[in-house]
Amino acid sequence: MKLKVGILGATGAAGIEFVRALYNHPWFEIEELYASDKNQGKTLEEACKLDLSGLPQNVKNKSLGSLEIVNHDLDLFCSALPSELAKTIEEKCAKYTPVISTTSAFRYESDVPIMITEVNSKHYKLLQRQKQRGWKGWIAPGPNCTTVGLVMALHPIYKEFGIERVIMSSYQSVSGGGASLIQKWREQRFGALPEISEVEKPLINPALMVADNVLGHIHLEEQKVKKETLKILGNYYSGKKILEDAEFSIDCSCVRVPTYKGHFETVIVQTMKNCSADNLKGLYAMFDDCCRSSFGHLPSSPKETLVVLDRSPEPYYDVNLYGGMATVIGRIEKSNAFSNGLKFQVLSNNTVKGAAKGMIQVAEYLHSIGFLMPK
């Protein structure tokens, strides 16, 4: 019997990716779609301005329900709501039903793990603490999409060689900014732009000028990446039912670039024990084998979790490797910036592994171990 799933915020960028990830899924089926009140009663096709190609007409014709009246008989909710709205709606749903989420609303609370299947699947045990809230369900959020590629690359290093410090710079695609930024980028990229005088330029909201531009600041992004990385790589202590953050120094700079999909990162790591570039390549190969053995049975798991290249990863060519679920790492070299220094580049698909399908993979894992079951 397939689990019945409702998608919260189905018309947004992450919501549509939940729809894609769940369409024809062998374990889950889409039962309900929910959106804002202004779209209640409309079909998905009528309400959504994003690309729906590849979805069948019966899915496009599904009507949208109100977020205020959700079906508590469902087995799972997938939330892609704005964070400020998610705080209320996800809690209301979790009183009766498990929730997986792409939002930041509950990420930083002490009884909430930030889940990546291949990295910290055992942190799911922390979800049991949420019963103290009086909930029958629970909330399991994934990380910020920028965090995903970084943590996938750091996890094997941290476990095998230890980490003293990390410095990361990210170059993030416009799709990471959600539906409104995607639409604005398309208008600017493929439509004629009006001439702008030197006097007018300072008056323009820079967040709206995304085509042929680099935006040097993304609100709260750097804080999220630093906090989430340490939490995800932390240790869960079953006896105390607590999660303690990893202990290393981390700093980052996050910028928006006019690429449609894929978050690209340059990373410098100082390890505790010496690790050569060849050591790291071998470590990544072993980690990939381990992922295949432990999680290869999950429907959303890729054939290769880590793809190591001898060149720089490129979003145009590499972002959709293995359906967008692989993390691509290239240019692994020694760094002279630190003793025991390494540097490399990382590419991850921010809308697939970094968002909805990555969280569907988490739900698959929880289902496979009997923690997420039909009601």
| Residues known to be catalytic | 145, 263
* CB proximity list for 370: less than 8 A, separation 6 or greater: none
Rg (CA), the chain: 21
**In whole angstroms, what is the distance from residue 136 CA to residue 93 CA?**
10
**In whole angstroms, what is the distance from residue 10 CA to residue 31 CA?**
12
* CB proximity list for 168: less than 8 A, separation 6 or greater: 150, 225, 250, 251, 252, 253, 265, 266, 267, 268
**In whole angstroms, what is the distance from residue 363 CA to residue 109 CA?**
20
Q: Which of 331-340 are b and which e, b meaning 16 or more Cβ less than 10 Å from the residue's Cβ?
A: ebeebeeeeb
Torsion sign (Cα): 200, 203, 206, 210: negative
Cβ neighbour number for residue 179 with a 10 Å cutoff: 17
- Residue 20 half-sphere exposure, CB side, CA atoms within 13 Å? 21
**In whole angstroms, what is the distance from residue 344 CA to residue 193 CA?**
37
**Do 291 and 18 contact (CB within 8 A), yes or no?**
no
**In whole angstroms, what is the distance from residue 90 CA to residue 105 CA?**
9
**In whole angstroms, what is the distance from residue 150 CA to residue 233 CA?**
11
Helix (H) or strand (E) holding 46: helix 44-47
